[in-house]
Structure 1
Amino acid sequence: MSLSPEQKKQFRTLGHQINPIVTVAGNGLSENVQLEVDRALEDHELIKVKFAVGDRELKKTLIRELCEIVEAELIQEIGNIALIYRAALEPNPKLSNLLRL
């Protein structure tokens, strides 16, 4: 699932209006966090995840791992926030950030 630079730019623009849905903190990528991110991606397709971990390298590793686990693509990473995307099987126009915004 490779996105074109134009698609990524469009998703970054849409991402400005989105608030983080999930926060990854001291417990790391627990099963509950993974399930919640997976559910949020299925509902919204484009989401922000906040990483409240102190170490920069740990944060980058966690972002990479999360994207691999939920089969999503990293669109942008700014500070402690990651913007990730995964196309929904059946997008809901009332929930999808791509169709709503």
Structure 2
Amino acid sequence: MLSSKQRAALRAAANPLEPVFQIGKGEIDDTLTAAVADCLAARELIKLKVLENSEYSAREAADILAEATGADCVQVIGRKFVLFLKKKKDSDFDAILAKAK
């Protein structure tokens, strides 16, 4: 669980990121969940976008994917949301999280 200061630091780090996945008409299935999990394992912090024709709101999609991947939902704004999953070792965000405690 992230503290509010850690969440704020991660929001700042995610600001310049472009969405790496778009969630459209289809359901959030195992394939999408696995792809998001792989991306989180590689990058730790990712931004996703929910298209207007999707049956999910950004909050619903964020909650579903966060639960399925074990990630923390950092932020939901409009149709975009940010997920964070810290690596077990050699995290790029250790300094940011330690500073924000």
TM-score (norm 2): 0.80
Name structure 1 gaps, 5 residues minimum: none
Closer, same or farther in 2 for the Cα pair 1:19/1:91, shift >3 Å?
Answer: farther
Structure 1 runs (4+) greater than 3 angstroms displaced: 53-56
Shift, 1:89, TM fit: 2.8
Shift, 1:55, TM fit: 6.7
Q: Deviations over 1:38-60 (max 9, x none)?
A: 0110000010011114478x312
Q: Does 1:21 align with 2:15?
A: no
CA RMSD of aligned residues (A): 2.0
For 1:38 and 1:54, the matched residues in 2 are separated by 24
Q: What is residue 70 of structure 1 aligned with on the other side?
A: 69
Which secondary structure does the structure 1 equivalent of 2:28 belong to? coil
Name structure 2 gaps, 5 residues minimum: 95-101
The percent identity for this pair of structures is: 19
Q: What is residue 44 of structure 2 aligned with on the other side?
A: 45
